[in-house]
Structure 1
Amino acid sequence: MSDIFNLNGRCALVTGGSRGIGAAIAELFTRNGAKLMVLHYNDDANADSLRVRLAREGHDLACLNCDVADEAAVAQATDEVQRRLGQVDIVVNCAGIGGDKRFEDISVADWDRMLGVHLRGTFLVTRAFFPDMMKRQWGRVINIASQLAYKGAPGLAHYCAAKAGIVGFTRALSYEGAPHNVMVNAIAPGPVETDLLMGLSDDWRAMKQAQLPVGRFGRVDEIAPTALLLASEAGAFYCGQTLSPNGGDVML
């Protein structure tokens, strides 16, 4: 039983992996044996900090700047990822942005950027590696959604729409992947202490914390183990699921 979470011999890619939930997943995967590469967008300082931190433990981490909403940038990054890793067995789509705005204040540019990073980015990165997983008859795609995909929230219509799209994408793609042992699942965290959460208004965060049965926001190290479960052989029977470590914010 002790080996079912082992990722030895697996190559993983984590987008949005320089900080927050993505960085916590990258660290946990690396410490459990995965050869890893991280994509980030203009976040060299945090990416370097993560790389140095893992290097002190004897782990090698490659980091690459990439806007996952940009098709050409993803194509270029794909070539570099494959050159460095050889193949990608596990993709974690964690790249995301935040920002609360009343619906009437959301511009078309705001809407397009929010869906671009979250939903288009998930599509583009998954598309880059999914066919090879299918050919090899093994793969894991883990998409980071949000409990707000189910619950919604004032001031976050664009964010909630993007995350709900990720849940639907996950369910649909799982039908295509599962017959080839490519398991596609999602994680819908509750509010977690990250830069994204801290970027929301004080009023919004106070309102959200008051709603949580546990009475506090989560920590990134409380989310990452769910990704390890889904990436490992322990998660081999999960198909099209959205697991929700959310402090009771949504109870399904």
Structure 2
Amino acid sequence: MTTNGNLHGQHAWVTGGGSGIGYAIAEALLRDGAKVTISGRRGDVLASAVERLSTLHKGDIASEIADVTDSAQVVSAAQSARQRFGQISILINNAGSTHSAKFTDTTPADFEAMYAVHVLGAVHTMQAVLGDMQELQQGHIINICSTAAIKPYKTISAYGAAKHALLGLTRSVALEYASTGITVNAVCPGYTATVIAEQALENLMQAKQLTRNQAQAILAAANPQGRLIQPEEVAETVRWLCQPSQKTHTGQVFPVCGAEWIG
């Protein structure tokens, strides 16, 4: 994967940046010259990620412990990150979790939990950084949604509803800030080789009494290319959307799923 260093001078904040897609995004932005702050709830995971990224790249990388569902923690993390690396000009909302159950077994609390992390989490972080971006008169916000935001799946009603809401939020904020130099877009991965995919595998194996290989085949079959998406592929799409030249694309949906969403 080639980089061009166009993100020198930019400060990127990646939530859920300690592993999986978030880690891959942090690495891609760091390689391209950005200063990167990753955040999450687990200090040990973040510390390990910072150590690995520091070994791989000479750029500025640091972490902040923050639960995106807690607005006070988000404000505090943004302020600390700002003091360290300067105003935040790139925000990647990647923090998330999943829930799988039949609709009749999904409780109101399950819906509230999914909404809290995927929607309110993005609200908290966007509100924490938009002041920076307005002062800079430029910025990129990318919300990591899911193909579940653009097509239905069985047994993930709470997760799917939250991702649909996040997509609607993305479009509304994009329109509101379209004249300010700030872009807001959604990247929608299909099944990706991450912890969440691992959870989906476990659910399939348990619900249908399948072997691991059988469950993997079902997830891979959802993608017309017959494979799981790799975190680095999602990261490359994000990196492209963060380039200074990307001024027109806003309020858009970018599926990373091998054409899965078409069907």
- CA offsets, 1:27-55, max 9 Å, x none? 0100110001011112x333222211222
The equivalent residue for 1:219 is 230
The structural deviation recorded for 1:4 is 6.5
- CA offsets, 1:50-81, max 9 Å, x none? 21122223233111111101112112222212
The equivalent residue for 2:22 is 22
Q: Is the CA contact (8 Å cut-off) linking 1:5 and 1:232 kept in structure 2?
A: no
Task: Select between 59-68 and 202-211 the one with higher mean Cα deviation.
Answer: 202-211
Q: Give the match's secondary structure for 1:36.
A: strand
C-alpha separation in 2, matches of 1:47 and 1:3: 24
C-alpha separation in 1, matches of 2:220 and 2:151: 15
- CA offsets, 1:134-163, max 9 Å, x none? 232111111000111111111100111111
Q: Is the CA contact (8 Å cut-off) linking 2:21 and 2:234 kept in structure 1?
A: yes
The structural deviation recorded for 1:245 is 0.9
Query: Aligned match of 2:204 in 197, 202, 205?
Result: 202
Q: Which 5+ residue runs of structure 2 have no aligned equivalent?
A: 206-214
Q: Which 5+ residue runs of structure 1 have no aligned equivalent?
A: none
5 Å-filtered alignment, 1:1-252, equals 6-42=6-42, 44-56=43-55, 57-200=57-200, 201-203=203-205, 206-251=217-262
C-alpha separation in 2, matches of 1:114 and 1:106: 11
In the TM superposition, structure 1's runs of 4+ consecutive aligned residues that sit over 6 Å from their partners are 2-5
Q: Is the CA contact (8 Å cut-off) linking 2:89 and 2:136 kept in structure 1?
A: no
Q: Give the match's secondary structure for 2:153.
A: coil
The structural deviation recorded for 1:104 is 1.4
Q: Give the match's secondary structure for 1:74.
A: helix
- CA offsets, 1:166-213, max 9 Å, x none? 111111111122211001111001110000110121347554322321
C-alpha separation in 1, matches of 2:12 and 2:161: 27
C-alpha separation in 1, matches of 2:186 and 2:225: 23
Q: Is the CA contact (8 Å cut-off) linking 1:5 and 1:233 kept in structure 2?
A: no
Quote the RMSD (CA, aligned, Å): 1.8
Q: Give the match's secondary structure for 1:179.
A: coil
C-alpha separation in 1, matches of 2:3 and 2:16: 27
The structural deviation recorded for 1:5 is 6.3
C-alpha separation in 2, matches of 1:21 and 1:54: 14
